[in-house]
Structure 1
Amino acid sequence: MYKKYVVVEGNAYSRGVQIGKELKNQISINYQNQTKYYRDKEDFNYRKWGDMAKRYIPAMEKWTPEVMEEIKGMAEGAQMELEQILALTTAYEKSFSRDMISEKCTSFLLAPKATYAQKVIVGQTNEECILEWMNELDTVIHHVDNGKESLIYTHPGVPAYTGINNQGLAVLWEYIDNGRTGDGVPTNAIIRHLLECANVGEAVEFLKMVPHDVPNEFGIADKSGKIVSVECFPNKVYVGRDEKYLVHTNHIVFGKEETDYTRSIATKTQYTEMENQIKKNLGNIDIEMAQNFLRSHENFPNSICAHLSPERPWNRVLAAVVQDLTCGEMHVAFGNPCETDYKKYRFRKYPINNK
C-alpha cells in the first residue's frame, strides 16, 4: 500500500531525509518508471539525464538553496544517488516538448467576490501521460519547520507540484510554450521555493527575478484575496490580475506578444468550459462547487476531467486539487475526481500569525 500522506519536520535537509525514508519505495518506483518510459519512448538511457541535470545545481544553489538541501536529504533518506533524485526533480525539463504541453492541466483562482462566503478558493487538475507518471504513487507531504507549514501534492521524488502554506499562500502550475528555453532554475524547484513565500507580492517578485529554464504559468493566491496568473518565459514574465477570478490552461493568455506553440484544441476547450462554469455561478461558489468544476465532462474527450479515449489514449487526470485559503485546507482527489472522493488535509496551525 502506497503512502498518500506523510509529515516531515525540521530544516530542509532533515525534511528531505525524512521524505526519502518515508517514500523510499515510491521514489524508487517513480525513478524506475521514468527509466522505462524513456527507454521505450526514445531509446534513451535515463541515467544520462541525471548527469545532464547536474547543470541545474549552480542555479538552484543560488536561487533555491533550501530546495537543493531538501533534494540532498531525499537522496540520503531514499538511499539513492543525488543524480537520480535530481533527474526526478528536473523530469519536466526532460519531458518538455511542443507536442505534449497542449494536453495537460486546467486551473482556476477565485477571489472573495467570486465565492459564496467571500472565501479565496483555488484549484487545478493534474493531467499527464499515464506511461510517464504512475498516479497511484502520488502523495501529500506536510512540511513543518519552526511554525511554518506547507501542504504539497506531488510525485514522490519531485519537490513540489502544487500546494498551500500556512502563511496563506497557494501555488498552481501549468505548462505553456513560446518556443524558447533558457538556462535557469527547474520548474519544480521554483514551485517548492514559492511555497516559502508569505504573500502574492513576494512570490511575483521572485518569479520576475529568477531565471526560467522553460516556459510555465504559475497561479498564485493568498488569503488576503489577491490572485495573479504569472506567465514565465526564459525571455520575459507577464503578470495577469483580476478582482474576481482567473482561469488558465496550456495556452498563452497574457503574453500576447509571444508566439504560442500550443497546437491542440483541448487547451482552449478546457479554458472556455472552466470560465463558463465560473461565470454561471459567480458569487455563489463554495468548496463543493469548486470541486465539481474539475469533474466536468463537457466536450469530452477534451473535457476538464480528462479520461483515456481513442483520441487521447495516454493522457488522463491523475489528480484534482482544490485549496481553501480562508480555512487553510487542501482537498485532493487521487485520480479522476468523478470517480474518486476528495480527501481533506489541514495544518496544525492556520494561519501562522494567529496568536
Structure 2
Amino acid sequence: MTMIPVIKASGTPWDIGHVMGSLLSKHLQNAVERFDERIASQLGENGLNDKIESYVACTEKLAPRTLEEIRGMAEGAGVGFMSLFCLNAAQELTYSQGCSSLAVNGDATADGSVILGHNEDNSPFYSDHCYVVDGTPDEEPAFLAFAYAGMVLHQGFNDHGIGSVGNALYSNDLKPGVPKLVAYREVMRSEFLEDAIRRCIRPERANGNNHVLASIEGEIYDVEVSATKYSLLYAEGGVMAHTNHFTAAELQHLDAWADLLNSRIRLNRLRKLLHRDRGEITVESVKRALSDHANYPRSICKHVKLGVNEGVSTVGSVIMNLTDKTLQATSGNPCEGGYRQLKMS
C-alpha cells in the first residue's frame, strides 16, 4: 500500500495554498474535472453561477485567509479558482453521505491521552486523493491535518492543542453564506477551545455541519450546527461519537434527509465499541473501532459492494493524540492498515 503523502507548507495563506496546489496538481486537476462534470449535469451552468457568487462574497468578508489559501491552491494546481471553490462548496450544492467521528479523554483512555478519530466517506474516486498537510502559517498556529482533493475540510490539530474532526449534517434551513468546509480550516487557526467553537457557529454560515472539538486539557464538545441554529453537546464519561444526523432534540426537525438509518446504525455501533473499551482506550483500539465491519458493507469502515453500496466507501482515516502531538492517517479503508504517523515538532 502506498503511504499517504505529506505536504509541508509555510508562509502566507496564498503561499501555503500554492505549495499544496503545485505538489498536488494532477490530483486537483482530476478532482476538479470530475466535480465540474457532475455538478454541471445536476445544476446547469446558470444554476451553479447563481448559487456560488454569494458563497464567494460571504467567504471573502468573513474568512479571507481561507479564501486566499484556496486562490493560491488553484493557481498552483493550474485550475480555475471558481472550480476549486465550487469543490469546497460541494455540500451546499449537492448531497453526499457518510463519515464517522469520535473523541475520548483521560476518563476513557488507558494512559490519560486525549484522542480524536475520523473516517472520511465519499466516492471511491477520492481514495487516491488524500494527503496530510504539515502547515506552518505566518503569525498563526502550526497544524497537522488530513485533507483530500483540494478541499479545506482539515481534520487535525494545531500547536495550541486544539483538535478537530467532524461530519456532514444536512439541514433544511440552507441559506447563502460561508460554506461549511471553511469552518474546518478556520478552526485550525484557533488558539483556545472557545475560539474554535465560535468559528463553527458564526451566524453567516450557509449550511449545517457537525464538529467534534477537543483541547489538550481534555475538554470535548460536539457542536451540531444548522444554517440558523446550533447546539453544544458535552462529552459525558470522556466519550463522544457522531455520524450524520442531528442528535440534539431541539435540532432533529432540521434534518433534510428522510432516511438516516445508516447514520444511526454507525453511531450506535461506534458508541458501543468506545464504551466497551472505556478506561482502556488507546490509539490502537480506536483503529479497531474505525475498522469495524458490523453491518458490512455499510459499516463504520464502509466498502463498495455491487448492488448494495456502490457509490460510497471510506476513502481515508485519521487519528490524532493531542497529548503526545501525533497524527496517524491513511488513504482508503482503515481495515487495510497503512497508517502513516507524524509528530508535531
TM-score, normalization: structure 1? Answer: 0.89
Alpha-carbon distance in structure 1 between the residues aligned to 2:234 and 2:123:
31
**Further displaced range: 299-308 or 280-289:** 299-308
The answer for the alignment partner of 1:119 in structure 2 is 113
TM alignment of 1:264-279, pairs within 5 A: 264-279=260-275
Residue matched to 1:151: 144
* Range with bigger deviation, 30-39 or 306-315: 30-39
Q: Distance in 2 between matches of 1:326 and 1:70?
A: 29
Q: Deviations over 1:277-322 (max 9, x none)?
A: 1111100011111111101011223311111123211111001111
**Distance of aligned partners of 1:78 and 1:178 in 2 relative to their CA distance in 1, 3 Å threshold:** closer
* C-alpha distance in structure 2 between counterparts of 1:121 and 1:186, whole Å: 27
Residue in structure 2 matched with residue 304 of structure 1 by the alignment: 300
Offset at 1:50? 6.1
User: What is residue 176 of structure 1 aligned with on the other side?
Assistant: 169
Please, which moves more after superposition, 331-340 or 256-265? Answer: 256-265
Q: Counterpart of 1:352?
A: none
Structure 1 Cα separation of the partners of residues 147 and 176 of structure 2: 24
CA contact (8 A) 2:36 2:83 kept: no
CA offset digits 1:7-54 (Å, max 9, x no partner): 011111111121121111111111112133345xx4555697367423
Could you tell me whether the CA contact under 8 Å between 1:128 and 1:315 is conserved in 2?
A: yes
d(CA) in 2 for partners of 1:44 and 1:307?
28
Separation in 1, partners of 2:163, 2:51: 31
Does residue 1:258 correspond to 2:259, yes or no? no
Change (3 A) 1:255 1:186: farther
Residue 266 and residue 256 in structure 1: after superposition, are their counterparts in 2 closer, same or farther (change >3 A)?
Answer: same
Q: Per the alignment, in what secondary structure is the counterpart of residue 110 of structure 2?
A: coil
Residues 54 and 86 in structure 1, CA contact (< 8 A), matched pair in contact too: no
**What corresponds to 2:178 in structure 1?**
185
* CA distance in 2: counterparts of 1:154 and 1:161, whole angstroms: 5
* Structure 1 pair 50–196 and aligned structure 2 pair: CA distance change class (3 A): farther
Aligned equivalent of 1:316: 313
Letter of the 2:84 counterpart: I
Shifted more, 206-215 versus 279-288: the winner is 206-215
Q: What do you get for the CA RMSD once the two structures are aligned?
A: 2.1
For 1:343, the equivalent position in structure 2 comes to 340
**Could you say which residue in structure 1 is the equivalent of 2:216?**
223
Task: Pick the structure with more helix per residue.
Answer: 2
Q: 1:264 to 1:43 in 2, by over 3 A?
A: closer
Identity of aligned residues (%): 21
Q: Match of 1:26? A: 27
Work out whether 1:288 is the aligned partner of 2:284: yes
User: Deviation at 1:240?
Assistant: 0.4
Partner of 1:353: none
Cα distance in structure 1, aligned partners of 2:88 and 2:294: 34
Please give the per-residue CA displacement for 1:134-165, whole angstroms capped at 9, x wherever unaligned: 22021111111247311121123212341211
Amino acid of the residue matched to residue 77 of structure 1? Answer: G
- Aligned amino acid, residue 140 of structure 1: V
Q: Which runs of no fewer than 5 residues in structure 2 stay unpaired?
A: none
**Structure 1 residue 213: Cα displacement:** 0.8
CA distance in 2, matches of 1:211, 1:38: 24
